[in-house]
Structure 1
């Protein structure tokens, strides 16, 4: 069994129309990936979710549900002074979403300041892979972000694989210069980048996916996946300089694109950790994302993914 850690924030999710029908659940890009990876990789991967939560009833309920999903929550820090953040998803008729957030005082935003974080940092050194996203970095105060980047660089030097999704939310950053500085630093020691082309365009101004791939190589990334939505993804490795476009099967009825990229990352990582060929990893990501976007919410019912087990199912 491979042990990995996923760093980030999980929030209370409200999904629906303001002052209308609304569903309460939970989600967050890194947590979404952790859950979908746990569902589809089975016993092949031990997943530590790294975050901070409160001691309130909502925090207790969320952590209990993560455990039911198969996540290891021993490294979840508990902050009696703070609670989880909250976000509202509003959907249009085409299934596209807009977000409103309330997270400035969330426990996760202050996880680096927790008196027990040093023990978590020591634990990360025992993991084979550490995964995080741009949101994982963006929510942290600037000094805490620098500390985390320094820790991740040290882990990389010790042989821990660093996987990074650039998942860009402009509202979480002071300006584009701050974003580029943080992303440039983490990309310099990233083994596997799982990025979305729209984000790369917004941050770096890349005109085509191939240009984004070349830039990632120059920044230090060893392997990269550039997600292209319905067009599939572009996979490449710096060592060979070669790239492969891996298509996806169109989904005729899209309900909600929330966490499509997170689900793709989970499917890809399930294959990557099992040392499957890159094209197979990409197709696993496409398959899982295709299922998720046919349901509402960031984390769809477990029954919808019950038949997807990438440790036993072969995808040619």
Structure 2
């Protein structure tokens, strides 16, 4: 069995128009990926070969209880989710334009997940992570932490990697979460993270925004220079570009989507689909194909996590 631990934050999601109809659910980039990974796992020949644990902190309130129950119903192991009696989950509002593009409003500064590294039981989590095969996190995971806690997490990842744990990372750059206007801080943090990364699952738009990359190939080259062995650059409707070590880069195309409804979880669902195949032993190109297939379905529906029926239809197509 392969065991992956996904570190991050899940928040309450409100989706709709202010003072108009809204849907309440939950979401967060890493949690979305965990859900789609579990659903992708069920499409594998031997789904029991992958265990998916989510690493985060929640409150002791009814919303936290409801979220935990729903994660378990998705097949996510929640034994590494800490509970914080003093704090509650963060909240975000998604607003969509006519093209399906989204803008966000957040209320997360005092969320339980933001202070996970200060939790009295964090040492238990760190010990448990020494026994997993892969740890996956995103730039948002890093961004929400206080500075000293971020350093502690990077140190933990370095130790885990040294002891044989594979580290996967999606940069998922969100400028609003990084207060330094010149991006010096985030570049410093990301370079440190990439030097600890075995598998990068990044989005070209994010990399271009932060680093000024002109093409996805530039992104591959920069990641390679930092020591990332397996590199996937997601590029929207153009599919993705994938490369391992010094092998030639390959384009993995995706099927055109006639009507994009909501791009909220495009990259997250790609990650989940990709990892469900990759952890089952698929080649990088085949894992990218599953990621593309799932993301292409998700963006045709509203919300970060679509219903299981449409997910399974995409995975079984």
Question: Under a length normalisation based on structure 1, what TM-score does the superposition of the two structures give?
Answer: 0.96
Provide the aligned C-alpha RMSD in A.
1.1
Give the distance between the partners of 1:45 and 1:136, measured in 2 at CA. 22
| 2:282 paired with 1:244 | no
Give the distance between the partners of 2:300 and 2:237, measured in 1 at CA. 14
* Counterpart position of 1:132: 137
* Counterpart position of 2:275: 269
* Counterpart position of 2:208: 201
Structure 1's unaligned 5+ residue stretches are none
| 2:69 paired with 1:64 | yes
SS in 2 for 1:48: strand
Q: Deviations over 1:15-39 (max 9, x none)?
A: 0000111100000000000000001
Give the distance between the partners of 2:106 and 2:54, measured in 1 at CA. 22
Task: After TM superposition, list the pairs within 5 Å mapping 1:7-156 onto structure 2.
Answer: 7-42=7-42, 43-156=48-161
Q: Deviations over 1:112-157 (max 9, x none)?
A: 0000011000100100000000000000000000000000011001
Alpha-carbon shift at residue 44 of structure 1 (Å): 2.7
Give the distance between the partners of 1:38 and 1:64, measured in 2 at CA. 15
Question: Under a length normalisation based on structure 2, what TM-score does the superposition of the two structures give?
Answer: 0.96
Give the distance between the partners of 2:63 and 2:150, measured in 1 at CA. 26
SS in 1 for 2:123: helix
Give the distance between the partners of 2:157 and 2:204, measured in 1 at CA. 24
Query: Which of 164-173 and 202-211 deviates more?
Result: 202-211
Give the distance between the partners of 1:308 and 1:132, measured in 2 at CA. 25
Q: Deviations over 1:43-92 (max 9, x none)?
A: 33111100000000000000000000000001100000000000000000
Q: Is the 8 A contact 2:171 2:202 kept in 1?
A: yes
Q: Is the 8 A contact 2:204 2:216 kept in 1?
A: yes
Q: Is the 8 A contact 1:40 1:308 kept in 2?
A: no
* Counterpart position of 2:168: 163
Moved over 6 A (4+): none
Structure 2's unaligned 5+ residue stretches are 43-47
| 2:191 paired with 1:184 | yes
Give the distance between the partners of 2:220 and 2:247, measured in 1 at CA. 9
Count of equivalent residues: 310
Query: Which of 240-249 and 31-40 deviates more?
Result: 240-249
Alpha-carbon shift at residue 307 of structure 1 (Å): 3.6
SS in 1 for 2:191: helix
SS in 2 for 1:99: strand
